[in-house]
Structure 1
Amino acid sequence: MFPRNKLVVLERSQLEEYKRKSLVGHWVLVKESCEDLQKEKDKSLKQGRRYSGASNVSTRFTAVNVMVRPGSAEGFLDVSGGGYLHSEGERFDCDPFDRVNTVNADDNLLRLESFHTFTSVQRLSLRRNRLKSVRPIDGDLAETLIRLDVSENQLNPDDIYRLSLLSKLEQLFMLANNLTVIPESLTNCHCFLSLKLLDLSDNYLSCPRTFYVLSTMHNLQVLNLSNNRISCIPHLIMKKETDCTNSENQTETCEDNEDMENDKNYDTKEIVYHVYHIPFANLNTINLSSNLIAHNSSVLPLICWPSLKNIILTANTISLNKNLIEFKKLIFTLCLFNIKTKR
């Protein structure tokens, strides 16, 4: 028996024996031995839990190692969390892979080119695959893909441009890629020709120029920019064709452009871009929740977007209870233009 009111230090293997014999309470410190830690680790692995230091990704993504379930589910391929590694040059343009139209490949080490030879894939998810870049898309995938999810990776602005060349793509999810800017190259007329939904939430976008670049996506209907660092929306003013004196080299102009580059307090001034296209021609819903919007004037430029019907402003400074009166004024103003606002 251990003495009363003492601090007792035990090995983990001695703990149960001490509990059985002791009739009084003590503070007990348990020393972890290497053997104890290994036992705990083995136990956790058996229960399906992963240790951060134990990476068992070793299975090559090949036709031999991947199984498509027969029957009604053969159009859906789920290899998520399977520990698959990209295999260069592997082809999947044969039965039964030519009938697969939906792939969930989250939590692996695969690339977009891992699926280039799938002939019918329309929906592909590659979340958490440690993607740092994407190569130019070719093969059958470029002609069939309509929905792509590359969220929670480490892609860069140039990759957005490469993905924009997927002419059939209608939905793109790029959440949590640490993006800070949108590439100017997206203003080219051949980018995102079919895109209807774009999700750029959980990034670090803050520059008003983001809106100018995105405004050139004429088929875009839903834009999610929640949980970024946006503080204002710029004015996108369309110029007449007669104002274009040099059509080949014509670009938009921006008032106080140099000041904006040096001053990051975008919400303290009105920012104007003169454009030569209808901005956000078909956009009907924009999600700006969890940003840094603090003033009514920072939102009013949305009135000029011709198809806009829904604005989500949840968790912005402007929507806090202390600003409720001003927010109600904003709601009233937007209602005059048939725009619904969610607080």
Structure 2
Amino acid sequence: MAGIVTWQFRHLLAIGTPLLILIAAYLFYFVDQTVATSMCANAWFFAVPLVLGALTGVIGERSGVVNIGIEGQMLTAAFASFFTAAATKSLVAGVAAGILAGVAMGAFLAWTTVTARMDQIIAGVAINIVATGITSFFYKSGAQLPVNMPQWNVPVLSKIPLIGETFFQTGPIALFALLIAPVLHFAMFRTRWGLRTRAIGEYPSAADTAGINVNRMRFVNVVLAGILAGAAGTYLSMEATSSFSRGMTAGRGFLALAIMIFGAWRPLRVVAAALFFGFANALASQLQGVVDIPQQFVTLLPYVLTLAVLAIAAGRVRAPAAEGVPFIKGEGQ
């Protein structure tokens, strides 16, 4: 009985909290339309790469592979997309290069952790170090995109007050982040692929007994997750800023990992957690115009929130049981 009550409470909280936030946002919107719209747009602007990065981690860890290298995947993709677009004078080529860079880094992670059974934390750290070194060494100033990324207005939806202006009057990668989260949530919990992914991340020996090729599926999932990391990096250099600078990811890959944990490895909760970080950042930026807050403190805020979130989430969420554990056929796991 207690378990049923707890289950009902959690679902009520999951539904009620976003609803209360939406009501509060609209009340604020009717009080001050300009500030409310600006804050919501800035929050989503900040949240987009975090959503994509966190979803990269969700796929990997649900499959049993810890991905500390999201930061490096994003940075490599940002570099590849920007300089490819600048060299070819083609935005499409730039986006493709960014996605492929994320996939290539994902393939490297999959090979080292799944095939070679290297320690997953060390493999991720290696990706981050290599990405930082390569992008710094080959960086050249003066490159420019041929044109800025287009901004799309989604018919009908873009006309909705506040929501439309925030989510449906934006660039293609931001729209992709908005759409991929519910798609991935449905796939993770309502499809055969999702069931098998969760199985290999929770009890791979049972999945193997059921006929699932655990290592092959882990390999493929980690590579496919690289698409999302590539999109996150591409967003940073081509849609958010139209430029590239050394270390421009600025720890977003690690923030994405914290958001993944805060979101309990569930795609829709990950979006909510990313928006929480985004709104906190937007609020701090707004307060700068009212209170004399040094920019350094505003920059520091997401990392302080990360520590607070991890402290709150510790012991309240459970990671996939087999994450970080290489699968060796014939050994019980």
Higher relative contact order (CA 8 A, sep 6+): 2
TM range (shorter): under 0.3
User: Higher strand proportion, which one?
Assistant: 1
Q: Could you say which structure has the larger radius of gyration?
A: 1
TM-score by length of 2: 0.21
